[in-house]
């Protein structure tokens, strides 16, 4: 079976789906590996490192014409999609809950679509395949660095002959994988860190990292399915926003990471909350995307300074800015999934398997993933998104 790694084409995307070290492992598993010319350049893996690992570096035309499975980080671009043919499979982070129409168009063309976003994350045998976690870890780490870079003061307490600097007060809103990594990194940089999440289970995790957990008196508790948060009701959201605003104003740096799968990211920092912050404060909005963000006024991929001197950074794709580490981890995840799907050198699709049921989106001309099929059936919600503003 021929497995091919494409060069990512999304703006600013520097990751690559497979790194040379993993090429060797796949070859030991009996797979042939093709790599599009320059695929690893952005992550500092030149073509010759793939050749040395036993891959064949080739042209885009040859790769799409001869590969059985295409490996990507994010969804292929339009040109790549047009090249896919019936019987081929594509594996990547295809975000089918936010873009169900991609799944439908791949199904219509007989392409098997497999998305790492759907992996059941609490299944211990799937942990090595969990790309959402590995990439969120990278993103949380980088968010703390981005915040420190934009902040005009020190993060740590510094006592020098020129005076004493108090430590920065940093608040992380949303303490899942990325939030906890941001807390750990900010603590190592010396900031005084607090965290908040709607899932009650996260309190212990925040405290175990030496940060303070903020308990809201409004007591919003929203554990959802599969370890995720559920979407808040309008009343819960209003109570949460109002109470958070007071805490936000007392902090110098805010990092937001809140997500609810398949929904618009919840708004946690309102325009009033931003207006109450001191000049020089910094907010890094990791929820920032074309769907909206966690912070009023954040713009994906941009840094804006408000009238009252608050810098709001719309941190859209932080893993791409740590491309080597992010690619190393992603490569292990995608190859573990691939080897799980392969039996006797062939891709064997079997959605009675828990892992496959989560990741296989389209196969045999059908959208087979129930949640994606449901979104497509309810075609009035063509964006695949519900929720608040």
Stretch of residues binding ligand NAD (CB under 6 A), selected from 24-32, 120-128, 245-253, 335-343: 120-128
Identity of the residue, 5 or 170, whose beta carbon is nearer to ligand NAD in the bound complex? 170
Beta carbon of residue 254, minimum distance to ligand NAD (angstroms, whole number): 12
Beta carbon of residue 108, minimum distance to ligand NAD (angstroms, whole number): 30
From candidates 4, 6, 73, 229, binder to ligand NAD by CB under 6 A: 229
Regarding 134 and contact with ligand NAD (CB under 6 A), the answer is: no
Regarding 268 and contact with ligand NAD (CB under 6 A), the answer is: yes
Identity of the residue, 153 or 247, whose beta carbon is nearer to ligand NAD in the bound complex? 247
For ligand NAD, the nearest residue by Cβ is 176
Stretch of residues binding ligand NAD (CB under 6 A), selected from 22-30, 253-261, 277-285, 368-376: 253-261
Regarding 197 and contact with ligand NAD (CB under 6 A), the answer is: yes
Q: At what angle do helices 370-377 and 100-108 cross, to 10 degrees?
A: 100
Identity of the residue, 80 or 176, whose beta carbon is nearer to ligand NAD in the bound complex? 176
Regarding 127 and contact with ligand NAD (CB under 6 A), the answer is: yes
Stretch of residues binding ligand NAD (CB under 6 A), selected from 21-29, 99-107, 197-205, 271-279: 197-205
Regarding 204 and contact with ligand NAD (CB under 6 A), the answer is: no
Stretch of residues binding ligand NAD (CB under 6 A), selected from 53-61, 131-139, 273-281, 323-331: 131-139
Regarding 332 and contact with ligand NAD (CB under 6 A), the answer is: no
Identity of the residue, 148 or 229, whose beta carbon is nearer to ligand NAD in the bound complex? 229
Site pattern 164..183 for ligand NAD (x: CB under 6 A): ---------xxxxxxx----
Pairing of strands 303-305, 311-314: antiparallel
Locate 255 and state its tokens.
């990092």
Chain position carrying tokens 């350049």: 41
Regarding 121 and contact with ligand NAD (CB under 6 A), the answer is: yes
Per CB under 6 A, residues contacting ligand NAD are 121-122, 127, 130, 132-133, 136, 173-179, 197-199, 202, 227-229, 232, 257-261, 266, 268
């Amino acid at each position: 079976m021929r497995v091919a790694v494409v060069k990512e084409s999304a703006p600013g995307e520097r990751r690559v789906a497979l790194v040379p070290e993993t090429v060797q492992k796949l070859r030991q598993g009996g797979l042939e590996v093709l790599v599009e010319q320059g695929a690893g350049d952005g992550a500092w893996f030149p073509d010759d490192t793939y050749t040395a690992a036993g891959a064949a570096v080739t042209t885009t035309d040859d790769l799409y014409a001869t590969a059985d499975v295409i490996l990507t980080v994010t969804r292929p671009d339009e040109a790549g999609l047009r090249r896919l043919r019936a019987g081929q499979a594509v594996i990547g982070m295809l975000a089918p809950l936010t873009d169900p129409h991609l799944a439908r168009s791949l199904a219509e063309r007989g392409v098997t679509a497999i998305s790492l976003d759907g992996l059941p994350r609490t299944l211990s045998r799937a942990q090595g395949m969990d790309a959402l976690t590995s990439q969120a870890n990278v993103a949380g780490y980088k968010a703390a660095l981005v915040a420190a870079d934009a902040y005009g003061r020190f993060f740590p307490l510094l006592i020098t002959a020129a005076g004493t600097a108090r430590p920065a007060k940093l608040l992380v809103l949303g303490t899942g994988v990325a939030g906890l990594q941001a807390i750990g990194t900010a603590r190592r940089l010396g900031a005084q860190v607090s965290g908040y999440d709607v899932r009650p289970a996260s309190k212990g995790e925040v405290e175990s990292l030496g940060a303070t957990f903020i308990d809201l008196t409004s007591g919003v508790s929203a554990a959802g399915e599969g370890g995720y948060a559920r979407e808040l009701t309008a009343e819960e959201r209003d109570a949460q926003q109002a109470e958070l605003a007071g805490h936000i104003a007392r902090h110098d740096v805010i990092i937001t990471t809140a997500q609810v799968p398949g929904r618009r990211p919840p708004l946690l920092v309102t325009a009033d909350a931003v207006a109450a912050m001191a000049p020089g404060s910094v907010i890094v909005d990791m929820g920032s995307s074309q769907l909206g963000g966690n912070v009023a006024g954040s713009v994906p991929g941009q840094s804006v300074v408000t009238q009252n001197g608050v810098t709001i950074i719309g941190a859209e794709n932080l893993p791409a800015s740590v491309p080597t580490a992010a690619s190393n981890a992603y490569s292990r995840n995608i190859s573990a999934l691939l080897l799980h799907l392969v039996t006797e050198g062939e891709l064997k699709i079997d959605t009675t398997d828990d892992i496959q049921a989560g990741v296989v989106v389209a196969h045999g001309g059908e959208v087979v993933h129930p949640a994606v099929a449901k979104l497509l059936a309810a075609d009035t919600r063509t964006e695949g998104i519900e929720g608040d503003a």
